[in-house]
Amino acid sequence: MTRIHAFWRKHLHHVCLALATLCTSAWGASAHHCAPASGPAHWQGVVTHYGFVNQPLGPFEPKQLADMNTIRDEVFWDQVQRADGSLQIPQRIDAFVNEALRQHITPMLVLGYGHPAHDQGGKPRSAKALEGFKRYAVHVAKHFQGRVRHFEIWNEWDANIGGGAAGDPDSYVRLVQQVAPALRKVDPKLCLMVGALTPAAQFNGWLDKALTQGLLKHADALSLHTYNHGEGRGRDTPDSWFKNMQWFIDKELPRYPFAQGKSVLVSEMGWANHQTGVSENLQAAYAVRLRLLSLALAHQTVHTANPYLGHWWYDWQDDGDDPQDMENRYGLTHRSGLPKAAWTALQELETALPVHGSPRQSRTAQIGSVGALTALRVDSQSQALSPQHPNLLTIWHPDNEQAKLTVQLQEDAPRFSASCEAQKTAPRRWQITVSAMPCWIQLSQPTGFEAFL
**Does residue 343 sit in the same domain as residue 428?**
no
First to last CA, the chain: 41
Q: What residues have CB less than 8 Å from 282, skipping those under 6 apart?
A: 271, 273, 400, 436
Question: Over pLDDT 70: what percentage of the chain?
Answer: 88
Question: Model-level pTM?
Answer: 0.90
- Measured CA to CA, the distance from residue 267 to residue 292 in angstroms comes to 17
Give residue 77's pLDDT.
97
Decide if pLDDT at 31 tops 80.
no
Mean of the per-residue pLDDT values of the chain: 88
pLDDT confidence bin for 362, thresholds 50/70/90: low
**Cβ count near 54 (within 10 Å):** 5
pLDDT reading at 357 higher than 60: no
Asked if residue 317 belongs to a domain, the reply is yes
**Over 70: is that where the pLDDT of 385 sits?**
no
Average pLDDT (359-385) is 74
Please check whether residues 267 and 161 belong to one and the same domain.
yes
Minimal CA–CA distance to 193: which of 252, 264, 254, 248? Answer: 264
pLDDT of the residue at 182: 98
- 110 lies in some domain: yes
Mean pLDDT of 236-260: 97
User: Is residue 378 a part of any domain in this protein?
Assistant: yes
Same domain, 341 and 374: no
User: Is there a single domain that holds both residue 300 and residue 436?
Assistant: no
Instruction: Write the CB contacts of 119 (distance below 8 Å, at least 6 apart in sequence).
Output: 125, 126, 129, 163, 164
- Residue 386 scores a pLDDT above 60: no
Q: What's the number of domains the chain is made of?
A: 2
Q: Same structural domain for residues 289 and 331?
A: yes
In a domain, 18, yes or no: no
Does residue 151 share a domain with residue 105?
yes
Position 359 scores a pLDDT of 39
Q: What is the mean pLDDT of residues 245-252?
A: 97
- What is the average pLDDT across 200-222? 97
- Give the pLDDT band (50/70/90) at residue 61: confident
Are residues 394 and 331 part of one domain? Answer: no
> In terms of Cα–Cα distance, which of 352, 346, 369 is closest to 416?
352
* Domain end position, chosen among 324, 352, 380: 352
Report the pLDDT value the prediction gives residue 389, as an integer from 0 to 100.
55
Nearest CA among 404, 432, 436 for reference residue 420:
432
Q: How confident is the model at residue 427 (pLDDT cuts 50, 70, 90)?
A: very high
Judged against a pLDDT cut of 50, whether residue 29 lies above it is answered with no
**Does 272 map to a domain?**
yes
Band of the pLDDT at 433, cuts 50, 70, 90?
very high
Give the model's confidence band at 315: pLDDT under 50 very low, under 70 low, under 90 confident, else very high.
very high
442 contacts 414 by C-beta, under 8 angstroms: yes
Q: How confident is the model at residue 246 (pLDDT cuts 50, 70, 90)?
A: very high
Last residue of a domain, one of 319, 352, 385: 352
Looking at 352, 386, 402, which one is the last position of a domain? Answer: 352
For position 27, what pLDDT does the model report? 34
What does the pLDDT look like over 94-131, one tens digit per residue?
A: 999 999 999 999 999 999 999 999 999 999 999 999 99
Tell whether 443 is covered by a domain: yes
What's the pLDDT band for 221 if we cut at 50, 70, 90? Answer: very high
What's 398's domain CATH number? 2.60.40
Q: State the pLDDT confidence band at 355, using cuts at 50, 70 and 90.
A: low
Q: Is residue 19 one of the residues assigned to a domain? A: no
> Using an 8 Å Cβ cutoff, are 33 and 308 in contact?
no
Alpha-carbon distances of 233 from 6, 45, 243, 372, rounded to whole Å: 11, 27, 15, 15
| CATH number, domain containing residue 91 | 3.20.20.80
Within its chain, how far is the Cα of 314 from the centroid? 8
pLDDT for res 231: 85
Examine the domain organization and report whether 143 and 249 are in the same domain: yes
Higher pLDDT, 427 or 15: 427
Q: Which domain holds residue 102?
A: 43-352
pLDDT surpassing 50 at residue 73: yes
Report pLDDT for 15.
28
For range 373-395, the mean pLDDT: 74
Mean pLDDT, residues 296-316: 94
Give the pLDDT band (50/70/90) at residue 24: very low
256 and 400 inside one domain: no
Q: Are residues 346 and 371 in the same domain?
A: no
pLDDT over threshold 50, residue 12:
no
- Asked whether the beta carbons of 405 and 298 are under 8 A apart, the reply is no
- pLDDT on residue 308: 96
Read off the pLDDT band of 382 (50, 70, 90).
low
Predicted local distance difference test score (pLDDT) of residue 234: 83
5-25: average pLDDT: 32
Q: Is residue 330 part of a domain?
A: yes
Mean pLDDT within 26-40: 65
Q: What is the pLDDT of residues 316-337, one digit of tens each?
A: 999 988 999 999 999 999 988 8
* pLDDT per position as a tens digit, 167-194: 999 999 999 999 999 999 999 999 999 9
Arithmetic mean of pLDDT, 391-401: 95
Q: List the beta bridge partners of residue 434.
A: 403
Report the share of the chain in percent with pLDDT over 90: 74
Residues in the chain: 453
Calculate mean pLDDT across residues 430-448: 93
Q: Are residues 143 and 110 in the same domain?
A: yes
* Shared domain check, 234 and 186: yes
* pLDDT, tens only, 234-243: 899 999 999 9
